[in-house]
Amino acid sequence: MKKIEDYLARSENQYLKLYDESIKHPEKFWTNIAETFVWKKRWDKVLNFDFDKPEFKWFINGKLNITENCLDRHLSTNPDKTAILFEPNDPNSKSEKISYKQLHSRVCRFANVLKSKNVGKGDRVCIYMPMVPELTVAVLACARIGAVHSVVFAGFSSSALSARINDANCKVLLTADGSYRGSKVIDLISIANDALLECNSIESTIILKRINSNIKLKDNQTWWHDEIAMVSNECEAEEMDSEDMLFILYTSGSTGKPKGMVHTCGGYMIYTAYTFLNVFQYKPNDIYWCTADIGWITGHSYIVYGPLLSGATSVMFEGVPSYPDFSRFWKIVEKHKITHFYTAPTAIRALAKHPVSLVENNDLSSLKVLGSVGEPINEEAWNWYDKNIGKSKCPIVDTWWQTETGGIMLSSLAGVTKDKPTFATVPMIGIQPILLDKDGKEIFENDSEGILAIKFPWPSIARTIYGDHHRYKNVYFSAYPGYYFPGDGALTDINGNFRITGRVDDVVIVSGHNLGTAPIEDAINLHENVVESAVVGYPHDIKGNALRAFVILLNDKLDLDMQKEIKDLISKTIGPIAKPDIIQIVPGLPKTRSGKIMRRILRKIASGEKENFGDISTLLNPEIVDQILLNS
């Protein structure tokens, strides 16, 4: 059998050579990578694609089960190696090491629980759980039997949860009685129960006892520990087609309801594993920690699948960087001798605000590689990270990618290709990024700025939006036909390194979380005293971006109660992460003659600009700009 190690780039020259092969002969290249995995049946054809339909199929008619590659495969070579290293919220609680053998057994056992609830191949299972090992078990148990997991971040509200359950028609809900986050205990089950009032498709709910509550179970609800006591720990892995659905994960769109991005088995498997090993240059005894939540794509691809496919030790942390104080991350690095630390710029900026003694009191000498993900990292944060955490000796991989891309698309390879502050730098092997100008023409020169697009399919591209292929085509393939359009702007330096400049649509990234402004406006407009609203992002020291809402009221006395009511509405419909920092009452909104809100102007006002609004002559009501400024 071929070994994936033989296809990893260990020097810049090797990267260039592999990149070249992957572009000239993509099918041959990805065949080599796919052959390093366990398949139940080989594929007939590597790739079929059509950007117009759009349709992407990889390893056609190949059969596999991703959990055999994440678990069973390692049992003959390294059964006792730690797969998951769990660090609980409370620093005084014991951490837990789960070996590949133990994880395999727990996954198979829970897979049998799902089967006992009549869950089979293709059925959707919603997972709304804290960052505890059972979350990983739940995800893999679904994959074991071919059920489609839809993980919903446990910070989302009951309405957000029910909307996602209903969109995917989920049969089973997996949740917990509560969760610990810093000094808070979150009543997860009440949120889940509220959501369930709106959901008809859920036949059973299985509840993990995490906070030892004495809740009373409702009809069709059972305890996790009771369920696993009744089944065996042996479970055959279901045979899946390469193009069968592996999971749905929701991401915000610039308009309307969230998009359920669909990922499939074969392509996602090989791409997440290959990028994990190339980008992080993980070696067998390394301890890798990604601080994301499994509720987001970063957790799916680079806590669960990429690392486990690679036989790595992946750390799961239940808590927050500020509890019990702002040295928690560094204490964990010292405690577990972390070698790889992968986090978000917003966390770095928040930590950099605190005395550096909180870092220096800990031994960080185990660290070899640092990573950044989720939003552009500013130079100051990059330098702080490099100097204080990496001690100027750890490469920093700035990884650009999206829920839709499944895996990392642009990044340096740690210690192999050069990093550069604020630049994601180079394309992954097999990836063909290009800048387009406003007319959609390719810009070939380096040192340019434009709209980022991807020219050729890669194995882990999302295949559709669940239940809405039309929207999939519209959002990603219509603006620039023949390309995948991610919605980000970018520039290149003279050497062709890429730097992401930010979103070019109405998605705002707040503390690394994608938020569409439209659903927030919809939530605000639910208030009986609101006529209309517009939400925009503006630069924020720590969060990267914060939100400011401009609100027209029916009766324009905005007291604090009203501010609170609006914020509560947003928390209830979306979740606390979507609350604006500033709510400003305005007499009107700047609108074009066709009635479109000119957000460009609001973004400038929110960023503190007092003049230079460009051409506002096309506004129906140019005088409104001064009126808004007067009160801001």
Tell me: does residue 398 bind ligand WTA (CB under 6 A).
Answer: yes
Phi, then psi, of 43 in degrees rounded to 5: -75, 160
Task: Please identify which residue in 82, 159, 402, 460 interacts with ligand WTA, judged by CB under 6 A.
Answer: 402
Q: Please say which residue, 202 or 546, places its beta carbon nearer to ligand WTA.
A: 546
Question: How far from 240 is each of 120, 144, 420, 432, 538, CA to CA, in Å?
Answer: 12, 9, 41, 29, 45
Tell me: does residue 272 bind ligand WTA (CB under 6 A).
Answer: no
Tell me: does residue 347 bind ligand WTA (CB under 6 A).
Answer: no
Pairing of strands 172-176, 530-540: unpaired
Euclidean distance between CA atoms 73 and 68, whole angstroms: 6
Place of tokens 């959002």: 475
Task: Please identify which residue in 189, 373, 551, 605 interacts with ligand WTA, judged by CB under 6 A.
Answer: 373
Q: Please say which residue, 110 or 385, places its beta carbon nearer to ligand WTA.
A: 385
Tell me: does residue 508 bind ligand WTA (CB under 6 A).
Answer: no
Task: Please identify which residue in 403, 417, 464, 545 interacts with ligand WTA, judged by CB under 6 A.
Answer: 403
The minimum distance between CB 283 and ligand WTA, in angstroms, equals 23
Task: Please identify which residue in 400, 476, 498, 538 interacts with ligand WTA, judged by CB under 6 A.
Answer: 400
Q: Please say which residue, 59 or 477, places its beta carbon nearer to ligand WTA.
A: 477
Q: Is 101 exposed, middle or buried (0-12, 13-18, 19+ CB in 10 A)?
A: middle
Segment near ligand WTA (CB under 6 A), from 203-211, 373-381, 568-576, 601-609?
373-381
- In the beta sheet, which residues pair with residue 151? 127
Output the 3-class SS for 510-545. Answer: ECCEEEEHHHHHHHHHCCCCEEEEEEEEEEECCCEE
The minimum distance between CB 421 and ligand WTA, in angstroms, equals 12
The minimum distance between CB 574 and ligand WTA, in angstroms, equals 15
Task: Please identify which residue in 491, 500, 577, 598 interacts with ligand WTA, judged by CB under 6 A.
Answer: 500
Tell me: does residue 506 bind ligand WTA (CB under 6 A).
Answer: no
- In the beta sheet, which residues pair with residue 64? 240
State both tokens at 324: 């019990």
CB-facing half-sphere around the CA of 141: CA atoms within 13 A: 30
Q: Please say which residue, 91 or 496, places its beta carbon nearer to ligand WTA.
A: 496
How many other C-beta atoms can be found within 10 angstroms of the C-beta atom of residue 334? 17
The minimum distance between CB 586 and ligand WTA, in angstroms, equals 28
Phi, then psi, of 549 in degrees rounded to 5: -105, 130
Give the DSSP H/E element, type plus range, for residue 29. Answer: helix 26-34
State both tokens at 124: 């959707």
Residues 278-307 that bind ligand WTA (CB under 6 A): 296-298
Q: Please say which residue, 267 or 376, places its beta carbon nearer to ligand WTA.
A: 376
State both tokens at 15: 């990267």
Residues 514-543 that bind ligand WTA (CB under 6 A): 514
Euclidean distance between CA atoms 359 and 349, whole angstroms: 14
Contact criterion met (CB below 8 Å) for 523 and 355: no
DSSP letter for each residue of 29-87: HHHHHHTTS--SB--SEEEEEETTTTEEEEEET-EE-HHIIIIIHHHTT-TTSEEEEEE
The minimum distance between CB 316 and ligand WTA, in angstroms, equals 18
DSSP state of 169: T
The minimum distance between CB 488 and ligand WTA, in angstroms, equals 5
Segment near ligand WTA (CB under 6 A), from 217-225, 229-237, 435-443, 482-490?
482-490
Q: Please say which residue, 503 or 548, places its beta carbon nearer to ligand WTA.
A: 503
Contact criterion met (CB below 8 Å) for 154 and 188: yes
Residues 415-444 that bind ligand WTA (CB under 6 A): 424
> Which one, of 506, 527, 510, lies nearest residue 573 by Cα?
527
Q: Please say which residue, 98 or 303, places its beta carbon nearer to ligand WTA.
A: 303
The minimum distance between CB 374 and ligand WTA, in angstroms, equals 5
Residues 232-261 that bind ligand WTA (CB under 6 A): 251
The dihedral through the CA atoms of 405, 406, 412, 417 has a sign that is: negative
Count the residues of the shown chain that bind ligand WTA, applying the rule CB under 6 A: 23
List of residues contacting ligand WTA (CB under 6 A): 251, 296-298, 372-376, 398-403, 424, 486-488, 500, 503, 509, 514
